[in-house]
Structure 1
Amino acid sequence: MHLSRYLAVVLLALLGLGLTSPAIAGQENPEAEITAPSLILTGVAFDVTVDAPGDSAGLQVRLGEETFSLEQAEEEPQWRGEGLKVPSSGAVEISVINGQGAVLAETTSRALPGWISILPPLLAIAIALAFKRVVPALFFGVFVGAVLAVEVSLGGVAQGLLDTMQVYVLQALADEGHSSIILFSLMIGGMVGIISKNGGTLGIVDRITSYASDSRRGQVVTGLLGLGIFFDDYANTLVVGNTMRPVTDKLRISREKLAYIVDSTAAPVACLAFVTTWIGYEVGIVGTAVANIEGLTMSAYSIFLNSILYSFYPLLALYFVFVVANSKRDFGPMARAERRARQTGQVLASGANVDEAAGEGEELKPKDGTPRFAYNAIIPVIVLVVSVLGGLYYTGLQAVSNPETATLSQIIGEADSYKALMWGSLLGVLVAAALSVGQRILTLEETVEAWYSGLKSMLFAMIILVLAWALSEITAVLHTAEYLTSVLGDWLPAGAVPAVVFLLAAATAFATGSSWGTMGILMPLVVPLTWAVLAANGMNDPAHYHILYSSVSCVLAGSVWGDHCSPISDTTILSSMASGCDHIDHVRTQLPYAMSVGLVALLVGTLPAGFGLPWWVGLVLGMAILSGLLRVFGEEVDIADPDIEPARVASS
């Protein structure tokens, strides 16, 4: 009994001390909480925030032997320490001390050499170049970054491998905006599948090809058809190449020229049009890149729309297709191919190796006897476009503070593009399905199968996109953009950034053969880097946003340029197959045209626009120079009688 009383007294005493000690401690050392990055880079500035009572004067941050002052933020009781740096790597003790030197709070961070932060994207690019495969390259980049984010050790390698999927890829999929982009892209791919299977796409083809009566008109019609099927580059390539091949053979247009027109309209128009299978991917990677940029409030869709004006290569590539088609002139190997076709009717080079069946796209080819009604493709596309535009306007109107005085650009800038794109893609699919089933062109089962076939064509791109999102998160954790800014910001002129981006994107796409893979690798780096360079030069204001728009466009444009020049490009290979052209002959004849347009776009458009030249001036100058080049170096190709049968239209 005496023992129990003794224990009760001791317990009460301890409780009393516990109740009174915080008050005493609070009087001597005010409570504080410090927030600092878990991983920092040597020589690269970082910030810390401290939550402490508002009357805590003289607070400082101690890093090793150095101390830095804190400034009270507007959001009391928060204090900030900005521009802090550590000189060496390893564990870093970060402490908050008061005026008397007492430690109020402390935490530990890990410092890495700055160059390590660029390893994940560099390794991704290097592996893509070496093995010509984007998915393993992106995955390895994410894996290396995950290891660096934990620690470089045997346990860190194991944990990094698990985090690659469980943390970074999962986060990429779990994000609501990312999921919206994936659903939109899959749905629009499904719509393309339905309107291909129900004969609607071929109906558009029939309308356009009725105009072709000679070689010049045949080339122009082929180019117009390439513009008309703007919603997907793969569908564009397969439909235009396979459909126009018999027409161009009859008109004595070389297979090399057909493949060039097909290839040079497919990707450029798909990356420029604002409702395509590309748009979800493009907006998705731009949105991820701008998500963590302070001070930039524009939506990803608004940035994309503004960047179109600075997409000099795709715009000039489309222009040059029609100039060449309408001029009766060609130069380089293309001139020899066209002269051979006109004068001998031999549309293929001697010894050409072709596999025409490989480009037929049998899975989405309409059944024999399927009616070719153009409106079965036109109506769903119109519904898609109108729905997206209406959704942008509606969501933007709901978001602006004063709808009555808001301008159209302000409304679109505030719009929820994810909602608009999902609404439009859903309505487009439903209308395409209703037209197919309602006219009994396809059964419900066939419609679903066609939708699924179109959807499957997008799966590989979605895998690339998810891994690109994961790599973007890794570069944010490792502060890659901040390191690049610290290295490049002092000497790289802000106006030169778009040109450098254009060349880098072109080189990567040329070596990897993938526009989408190049965009996925580079966009997460380019956007934060461009913004940081602008900020370092005091140019991060709307007057200089054209540099940001141009940099975004240069990732896309450079990717397409490199894709056009690359013999391993998926669209280049598909263009050769769909056109029934020897692949090497296609690359050899297209390369001089793509290089000419690319250099003009870089030197006359991208570079001057970065330093303030209005975009339209660069575009007009580029058009004039390309027209002049064709006039000076182009050789006139005679137009043969279309009634003369080609001497040879196939060779294998």
Structure 2
Amino acid sequence: MNMNNNMKIGIVTAVSVIALFVLSLLITQAPAGDDNALRFGVLTLLPPLVAIALAFITKETILSLFIGVFVGEFMLCVNDLNIISSAVNAFLAIGNQVIACMADPWNAGIILQCLLIGGVIQLITKMGGAKALADALAKRANTPRKAQLITWFLGLCVFFDDYANSLIVGPIMRPVMDKLKVSREKLAFVVDATAAPVAGIAIISTWIGLEISLIAAGFKSIGMNVSGFGIFLQTIPYRFYNIFILIFIVISAITLYEFGPMKKAEQKARARKDSEPIQALEAPGFDEVQPVEGIKLTVWNAIIPIGTLIIGALIAFYWSGYTTILGGQDQALITLMKTAPLSFNGVFEALSASDASVALFQAALLASIVAIVMAVLERIMTIEQAISEWIGGMKTIVITGVILLLAWSLGGVIGDIGTADYLVGVLKGTIPAWILPSLIFVLGALISFATGTAYGTMSILMPLTIPLAWAVSPDMGFVVTATSGVLTGAIFGDHCSPISDTTILSSMGTSCNHIDHVQTQIYYAIFVAIIAIIFGYIPAGFGIAWYICIPVAVVAMYIGLRVIGEKVDFDDDVEEETA
């Protein structure tokens, strides 16, 4: 056995050295220049492809991300054929990249809010609130159909932020789904599919500020001074992927039809015996945490801390944007905040200008304090025990923090080597008008999948798309459709990508193996994306109205699911046992 392992290590090492040498040879022969997209050419795709391929092959997320970052840094460090020198410099550069990501205020806020929410979830669980809430939901969600629909509805309710959605809905519904023998993979899919797709089209969310600013800047570049919010509203009916994935969840839940790896996961879950463990996780989750013995179970021990988190987040969003506007230079917005701060426009502008990372951290800290105080006042725990459990909950999130840091580092190195610029340069050639919205959707998906960031993809593509669409067809409806292709394609790619932060958080929040989640949901996401292109963006490119496209697409989606899918039924006794 040792001989075999040593042989495997030797072979892997030899192949790696040869691959690095060949890579160095290709890079040193490439033309020198400041534009890395031109310098590296198709090699710019290597770091994300290596990370994604290894993640699927090895099922080791952290190792795969680390190697992807290393490959990117190695490419940037190559000056000659001395691969040892390049490898050492690449390793040192990884340290600088990770520290830079951690030092970024936005990233730091995301990691801190995840840690704090992890602490809140553990406290809620120890106080019996999670079990009481799960039991209460189980009375209504007494079949797999109802449980999936309730999860979908909760996802719509937490519309204001995709991170908050993943971290709140998953832990609440996990015990309900487990009891009804719905797979963790299906739960993770429903949670993930109601995170970014909902936040991306909500008129009050942490996404809208970036979206409307990019839209306004894009139109300004073609000499048009438009309302970014007004154009955003016009894009909503053409956000085909967002709309269709939400409808697909309902169709799948009602029919119980599944296909691909998800079908196998659901069949395995239905066949699981009550005494069997759910699945082996990459890291400890909240599953093994049990309520304190002898306490009275009440849903308020969950509703109050979670309600504090949600309401506190909305207030923190408003206050963050309010103070930002008052400290800025836009006199019209300052006047609005002083004269009508709680009007619709005032609230909207404040939320658009907010720092979501800081606001969610503040809300999570407030929810943590509320949960600790409740635990002490109800005499469930002493203050020392409550704080200890709160910290214990944070420990379960540490692995997520590591994955996020590596994912952000990969995104940083991908930006340095020019992956997105290369893809845009290759695909933005002369094209017929009718295909442009579809092409933009696909391009946005490719960039977002490879980089793991919808925000970055939108920021890259929007300044290119609006002038291009206007040049191809100077019609406002056509430009709006193309604009929606950017916003929706970015979300589709982000939804599928194994290096996306929302995908990672959805896995963590539902205690689902990360790669299992990616492998099962990607088939569904691609199926819906194909429907969005064939029955959405291609007809819209010919000028067909959305109210014709959407009903036809929904029928096609239903028929397609029935044709390629198979019903995964459940034992009728489940309803009686949980009623």
SS at match of 2:335: coil
Which residue of the other structure, out of 101, 125, 143, is the alignment partner of 1:196?
A: 125
- Separation (CA, whole Å) in 2 of partners of 1:125 and 1:609: 32
2:84 is aligned with 1:164: no
Q: CA deviation at 1:529?
A: 3.9
Give identity over the alignment, percent.
22
Greater fraction of residues in helix = 2
Q: CA deviation at 1:224?
A: 0.8
401-410 or 169-178: bigger deviation: 401-410
- Partner amino acid for 2:112? L
Q: In 2 relative to 1, CA 370–223 (structure 1 residues): closer, same or farther, beyond 3 Å?
A: farther
Conservation of the 8 A alpha-carbon contact between 1:527 and 1:548:
no
187-196 or 628-637: bigger deviation: 628-637
Q: CA deviation at 1:181?
A: 2.6
Q: Which residue of 2 aligns with 1:152?
A: 79
Alignment deviations for residues 359-384 of structure 1 (CA, whole Å, 9 cap, x no partner): 88444332343433212222222222
Unaligned runs of 5+ in 1: 1-87, 91-108, 249-254, 509-517, 647-652
Q: Which residue of 2 aligns with 1:224?
A: 150
Conservation of the 8 A alpha-carbon contact between 1:523 and 1:552:
no
- Separation (CA, whole Å) in 2 of partners of 1:165 and 1:481: 23
- Partner amino acid for 2:425? S
- Separation (CA, whole Å) in 1 of partners of 2:446 and 2:134: 37
2:361 is aligned with 1:438: no
Q: Which residue of 1 aligns with 2:15?
A: none
Q: CA deviation at 1:225?
A: 4.4
Alignment deviations for residues 327-357 of structure 1 (CA, whole Å, 9 cap, x no partner): 5x747799999xx99xxxx95289x996347
Q: In 2 relative to 1, CA 592–188 (structure 1 residues): closer, same or farther, beyond 3 Å?
A: closer
Q: Which residue of 2 aligns with 1:413?
A: 352
Q: Which residue of 2 aligns with 1:42?
A: none
Q: Which residue of 2 aligns with 1:98?
A: none
Conservation of the 8 A alpha-carbon contact between 2:125 and 2:289:
yes
Q: Which residue of 2 aligns with 1:348?
A: 271
Alignment deviations for residues 456-506 of structure 1 (CA, whole Å, 9 cap, x no partner): 343333333333433444444445544444333223665234431476479
Q: Which residue of 2 aligns with 1:489?
A: 428
569-578 or 199-208: bigger deviation: 569-578
Root-mean-square deviation (CA, aligned residues, Å) is: 5.5
Q: CA deviation at 1:423?
A: 2.1
2:364 is aligned with 1:429: no
Q: In 2 relative to 1, CA 192–354 (structure 1 residues): closer, same or farther, beyond 3 Å?
A: same
Q: Which has the higher contact order (CA 8 A, sep 6+)?
A: 2
Which residue of the other structure, out of 226, 233, 243, is the alignment partner of 2:176?
A: 243
Q: Which residue of 2 aligns with 1:531?
A: 463
Q: Which residue of 1 aligns with 2:394?
A: 455
Give runs of aligned pairs for residues 103-502 of structure 1, distance below 5 A. Answer: 114-116=38-40, 119-132=43-56, 133-149=60-76, 151-153=78-80, 154=82, 155=85, 157-166=87-96, 168-211=97-140, 215=143, 219-225=145-151, 227-228=153-154, 231=164, 233=166, 236=169, 240-246=173-179, 248=180, 255=181, 262-272=187-197, 312-313=240-241, 315-326=243-254, 330=257, 347-348=270-271, 355-356=277-278, 358=280, 361-398=286-323, 399=325, 400-403=333-336, 404=339, 406-491=345-430, 494-501=436-443
Alignment deviations for residues 12-52 of structure 1 (CA, whole Å, 9 cap, x no partner): xxxxxxxxxxxxxxxxxxxxxxxxxxxxxxxxxxxxxxxxx
Alignment deviations for residues 393-434 of structure 1 (CA, whole Å, 9 cap, x no partner): 233334033314755433332233333222222212211222
Give runs of aligned pairs for residues 55-66 of structure 1, distance below 5 A. Answer: none
Alignment deviations for residues 67-105 of structure 1 (CA, whole Å, 9 cap, x no partner): xxxxxxxxxxxxxxxxxxxxx934xxxxxxxxxxxxxxx
Q: CA deviation at 1:206?
A: 1.9
Equivalenced residue count is 494
SS at match of 2:95: helix
Q: Which residue of 1 aligns with 2:531?
A: 600
SS at match of 1:169: helix
SS at match of 2:292: coil
Conservation of the 8 A alpha-carbon contact between 1:465 and 1:520:
no
Conservation of the 8 A alpha-carbon contact between 1:169 and 1:466:
yes
- Separation (CA, whole Å) in 2 of partners of 1:373 and 1:593: 37
Q: CA deviation at 1:116?
A: 0.6
- Separation (CA, whole Å) in 2 of partners of 1:614 and 1:446: 59
- Separation (CA, whole Å) in 2 of partners of 1:176 and 1:539: 38
- Separation (CA, whole Å) in 2 of partners of 1:577 and 1:466: 20
- Separation (CA, whole Å) in 2 of partners of 1:395 and 1:637: 47
Alignment deviations for residues 180-206 of structure 1 (CA, whole Å, 9 cap, x no partner): 232223222322222233221222222
Alignment deviations for residues 114-168 of structure 1 (CA, whole Å, 9 cap, x no partner): 15166355323224303534444444444444455455234555434323323x3
Q: CA deviation at 1:265?
A: 2.0
Q: In 2 relative to 1, CA 525–207 (structure 1 residues): closer, same or farther, beyond 3 Å?
A: closer
- Separation (CA, whole Å) in 2 of partners of 1:636 and 1:161: 49
Output the TM-score relative to the length of structure 2: 0.65
- Separation (CA, whole Å) in 2 of partners of 1:412 and 1:321: 29
Conservation of the 8 A alpha-carbon contact between 2:462 and 2:486:
yes
- Separation (CA, whole Å) in 1 of partners of 2:506 and 2:318: 34
Q: CA deviation at 1:324?
A: 4.6
- Separation (CA, whole Å) in 2 of partners of 1:392 and 1:569: 24
- Partner amino acid for 2:351? I
Conservation of the 8 A alpha-carbon contact between 1:143 and 1:160:
yes
Q: In 2 relative to 1, CA 378–118 (structure 1 residues): closer, same or farther, beyond 3 Å?
A: farther
- Separation (CA, whole Å) in 2 of partners of 1:383 and 1:587: 35
- Separation (CA, whole Å) in 2 of partners of 1:317 and 1:437: 43
Conservation of the 8 A alpha-carbon contact between 2:65 and 2:410:
yes
Conservation of the 8 A alpha-carbon contact between 2:134 and 2:175:
no
Unaligned runs of 5+ in 2: 1-29, 159-163, 326-332
- Separation (CA, whole Å) in 2 of partners of 1:113 and 1:260: 37
Conservation of the 8 A alpha-carbon contact between 1:121 and 1:521:
no
Conservation of the 8 A alpha-carbon contact between 1:263 and 1:571:
yes
Q: In 2 relative to 1, CA 635–382 (structure 1 residues): closer, same or farther, beyond 3 Å?
A: same
Which entry has the higher C-alpha Rg, 1 or 2?
1
- Separation (CA, whole Å) in 2 of partners of 1:385 and 1:491: 47
Conservation of the 8 A alpha-carbon contact between 1:313 and 1:558:
no
- Separation (CA, whole Å) in 1 of partners of 2:570 and 2:414: 56
- Partner amino acid for 2:492? A
Output the TM-score relative to the length of structure 1: 0.59
- Separation (CA, whole Å) in 1 of partners of 2:125 and 2:242: 25
